[in-house]
Structure formats: structure tokens, C-alpha cells
Amino acid sequence: MFIPYSCQQITDEDIAAVTAVLRSEYLTQGPAVAAFEQAFAVRHQVAHAVAVSNATAALHIGCLALGVGPDSWVWTTPNTFLASANCARYCGAAVDFVDIDPVTRNISPAELARKLEAAEAKGTLPSVVIPVDFAGLPCDMREIRSLADRYGFKILQDASHAAGATYLDRPVGSAWADLTVFSFHAVKVITTAEGGLLVTQDAALAEKLRLLRSHGMTRDPAQMEQAPEGPWYYEQQELGFNYRLTDVQAALGASQLARIDTLGVQRDALAQRYDRLLAELPLRLPARQADRQSSWHLYAVEIDAQRTRARRIDVFKQLRAAGLGVNVHYIPVHLQPYYARQGFRRGDFPAAEGYYDQALSIPLFPTLTHAQQDQVVHLLGQALQDCA
């Protein structure tokens, strides 16, 4: 029996919500998107939510709304998916990276502070920093906000893994970043099949995002540069994009959002059970921090080379052959050929590279049964023994 590292959970309620839209007058650009945005904003204690076609699109227009352009520097973590860096390149900006904290696997506030001090002396401070809540664990946003206020950069928080997570007793996206991005890809905490969303407390930023997601076009007379010629009239005010979410997707997202807390409890219970079952194996387990609650999008372990000679490649192959859909999150972005051609090389960010060299994401999703989880633990222990 194959056990994937993650998978979506679709209920009868989800199907009914989508069916209702399919039978309505609007498949897109109707009321379901606004309803989903409002529900997400309320749940995450934020003033504005703007839904888009995917999280990469969200990161792209987030950069644009924050003023990123060809003269900008944007910094992010190397331990992330490609989109966290690519979004800045889409705007013509230069990209650099900040190494991770080896415990949280998130961007290191100490490394960020050190790098900012050096950049200030050289006149190369970033205009935007993109911290990433890896695996669903929120970053040290209070410390990053303090640095932002000191050095004058904006924060575009990539919470693609972290819908429903909390930091300092508040939902992710509510308090510290200028903009926060969420992903609703099929394997995320909640899904719209494909989709993304940005939240902000800033009304002007939200309005800019709404303009950018739909061709830079408005039908609001109050925003137009000249009086409307008739009810059909619209104006393009920015070079925008077709990054809209459909009503069909929004209906699925709203249905899933209604049980986000239940899904979070299920994921956390499974993660706690992994913590107990894996405690004696030669692994480094995900961190738990007292001041934040992970959404547990991923359960990523590291093979502890000090305690076993087992190689990650051998363990990975044996687990895949046994029917476990293990994966590796992530190859450090700076090691990709595109970024290597910009001068980055192995050794630049040793903590991220050290994590990657031993990382393994094992199955975690709400419908994972205890019997399946026991099988994962048994096969992982067997592989570590066989490959040592």
C-alpha cells in the first residue's frame, strides 16, 4: 500500500459547496471569492484578504505592491521553494539569501542582523525581506519586524505552509508583516486545488493588489482618471495580470476553511505521536517552540550523521521501494543552476546546506491512520538499520 507524504482531504461538504457554484450564475468573478476572502480575513484577524490564482502569483504581485523593481534588493531564505526567490526576479530585482537557524529551519534573525549591518555599510540594504514559515512553523517575526523598523525594509511573509498557525497568540499574518502570502495547493493545510491569497492591514496595499491581480483594471468610478463614458466603462491603470481565483475554487476554499482548526488539531496530534515514536531513532526531529504553533504542513526529519552511517539517498530509495512517498524539502535555492549562474555556490549558506543534506519529509496528513503511521515508523527504522 502506497502512503504519500501528503494528500488532500475532500469531504461531502466540499463537494456540495463546489456543486452549488457550478449550478449558480457565476463560475468566476462572482460572490464566492469575496466571501472566501472575508472569511479568511476574519479567521486570521486581518483587515484585508486578496485571493489569487496561486501563491507564486501572490508573491509576484506582493513584491510589485511593495515597490520592488530593477533597482531593488530582495532577501529570502535558501530553505524554501523556488517561488520565494523567483518572485523578486520577475520584478527585475537582485536576490540574496540569509542562512537558516538550524533548529527552526527558518531564516535566522542573528544572521539577518549580521548581514543587514554589513549591507548598510556597503549601501546595499534590501527593500524587501521574504521570511518563509518552513513546514508551517512561524518565523521569528517580532525580531524581524524590529530589524525592518531599524533598517527600513518591508516584510513579505511567505506563509504558504502556515495557514492556521499562530505566533505569540495571534494568527500568522495578522501582526508583523506588511504582506503575508498563503498557498492553497492540493497538499497544503487547506486547498482550493490551486490558489493563493495575500493578507494585509493596509487598505492602500490591498487596493493595489486587487488592481494587479486583474489586468491593472478598475470599474470603480472613484478610482478613474476621467468620468465614465457609460456603464460599460473601465480603465487600465497599471500593467497587471490575470491572476484571479475562480468562484469554484473559492467555494472549495471556504468549505475547507470552516474546518481549519479541526485539521490543525489532527495534524498536531499526528506530529506529537511521531515525536514519541521516533524519539529513539538516529534522527533530528522538527522543533517545537513555546511561543508559536505550527500548522504542520510537513513533518521533516534529519538523519543524524553523528549517530548513524546511513546515507539519506539509500534510506530514501528503500522507503520509496517499500511504498512510502517520502520527499525532500528543499534543495537550497542558491544551488539551483539559475542562481549558481548569479555567483552563488555551495558553502555560502552552510546551515541550509547541512539541513538539506540529511532532510527527509515523511507522511503527514489529517487522514493518516495510526496503523499507517506505525508502518511509516517501522519502515523508517528498518531503513536506517539496513543502510547503516
Q: Would you write out the chain's pLDDT as a tens digit for each of its 388 residues?
A: 799 999 999 999 999 999 999 999 999 999 999 999 999 999 999 999 999 999 999 999 999 999 999 999 999 999 999 999 999 999 999 999 999 999 999 999 999 999 999 999 999 999 999 999 999 999 999 999 999 999 999 999 999 999 999 999 999 999 999 999 999 999 999 999 999 999 999 999 999 999 999 999 999 999 999 999 999 999 999 999 999 999 999 999 999 999 999 999 999 999 999 999 999 999 999 999 999 999 999 999 999 999 999 999 999 999 999 999 999 999 999 999 999 999 999 999 999 999 999 999 999 999 999 999 999 999 999 999 999 9
Measure the CA–CA gap between 53 and 184, rounded to whole angstroms.
9
Q: CA torsion sign, 243 to 249 to 254 to 256?
A: negative
The C-alpha cell 467555494 sits at: 251
> One of 115, 188, 208, 317 is an active-site residue; which one?
188
State residue 73 phi and psi, 5-degree precision: -110, 135
Element housing 277 (H / E) = helix 260-277
Ramachandran region of residue 265, left (φ > 0), alpha (ψ -120 to 50) or beta?
Answer: alpha
Measure the CA–CA gap between 98 and 160, rounded to whole angstroms.
19
> Do 293 and 165 meet the contact criterion of CB atoms below 8 Å apart?
yes
pLDDT score for 1: 77
Q: Say if residue 26 is preceded by a cis peptide, omega within 30 of 0.
A: no
Helix, coil or strand: residue 73: strand
CA 75 to chain centre: 16
Ramachandran region of residue 79, left (φ > 0), alpha (ψ -120 to 50) or beta?
Answer: beta
Q: C-alpha cell of 188?
A: 497544503
Tell me 69's DSSP state. Answer: -
> Do 6 and 187 meet the contact criterion of CB atoms below 8 Å apart?
yes
Measure the CA–CA gap between 337 and 31, rounded to whole angstroms.
43
CA distances in angstroms from 67 to 73, 235, 294, listed in the order given: 11, 22, 30
Q: CA torsion sign, 174 to 93 to 334 to 351?
A: negative
Measure the CA–CA gap between 244 and 254, rounded to whole angstroms.
16
State residue 154 phi and psi, 5-degree precision: -90, 155
Q: C-alpha cell of 256?
A: 475547507
- What is this structure's pTM? 0.97
Burial category of 9 from C-beta neighbours within 10 Å (exposed 0-12, middle 13-18, buried 19 and up): middle
Longest dimension (CA), the chain: 75
Helix, coil or strand: residue 242: strand
Measure the CA–CA gap between 326 and 381, rounded to whole angstroms.
14
Tell me 199's DSSP state. Answer: E
Measure the CA–CA gap between 203 and 72, rounded to whole angstroms.
24
Task: Enumerate residues 6+ apart whose C-beta is below 8 A from 204.
Answer: none
pLDDT score for 274: 98
Task: Enumerate residues 6+ apart whose C-beta is below 8 A from 210.
Answer: 50
Measure the CA–CA gap between 363 and 269, rounded to whole angstroms.
14
- Look up 188 and say whether it is catalytic: yes
Q: Please write down the long-range contacts of 29-34, taking CB distance under 8 Å and 24 or more positions apart.
A: 29/244, 29/247, 30/247, 31/247, 32/247, 32/248, 32/250, 32/251, 32/254, 33/244, 33/245, 33/246, 33/247, 33/250
> Do 360 and 303 meet the contact criterion of CB atoms below 8 Å apart?
yes
Measure the CA–CA gap between 274 and 301, rounded to whole angstroms.
10
Compute the C-alpha angle 336/339/340, nearest 5°: 80
